[in-house]
């Protein structure tokens, strides 16, 4: 399923900035890999865009690209059912990439 979200914070800067949009597609669990950018419905933080730091049998550890992002430990292990999809397209404030 296709999901679109608007970036609202600086945790993924400089690659993604507030006002940018991301498109994500649901991915098979075995298809997620460290380094991929994903859209996640976090239980406490809401809808977030993060990068996969590590994959485990029960879920993934996430990290932001910026030092301002919460640590993977603070975000906690995220189960695969929380992943809404892998980001495959971004629109950066009037530019597509």
Domain region containing 52: 2-96
Residue 94: predicted pLDDT:
58
Q: Taking the CA of residue 72 as centre, how many other CA atoms within 13 Å lie in the half-sphere pointing to its CB?
A: 14
Q: How many domains does one find in the chain?
A: 1
We report the CATH number of the domain holding residue 57 as 2.10.109.10
pLDDT digits (tens, 9 = 90+) for 26-40: 888 788 999 999 999
pLDDT digits (tens, 9 = 90+) for 38-55: 999 999 999 999 999 999
pLDDT digits (tens, 9 = 90+) for 7-21: 999 999 999 999 999
Instruction: Find the mean pLDDT for residues 60-74.
Output: 94
pTM, whole model, 2 decimals?
A: 0.89
Residue 42: predicted pLDDT:
96
Helix (H, G, I), strand (E, B) or coil at 30: helix
Residue 93: predicted pLDDT:
80
- Beta carbons of 38 and 50 less than 8 angstroms apart: yes
- Interatomic CA distance for residues 62 and 53, integer angstroms: 5
């Amino acid at each position: 399923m296709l999901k679109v979200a608007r970036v609202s914070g600086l945790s993924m800067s400089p690659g993604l900035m507030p006002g940018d949009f991301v498109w994500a597609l649901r991915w098979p669990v075995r298809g997620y890999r460290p380094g991929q950018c994903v859209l996640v419905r976090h239980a406490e933080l809401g809808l977030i865009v993060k990068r996969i730091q590590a994959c485990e049998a029960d879920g993934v550890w996430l990290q932001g690209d910026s030092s301002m992002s919460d640590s993977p430990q603070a975000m906690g292990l995220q189960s695969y059912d929380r992943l809404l999809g892998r980001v495959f397209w971004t629109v950066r404030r009037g530019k597509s990439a």
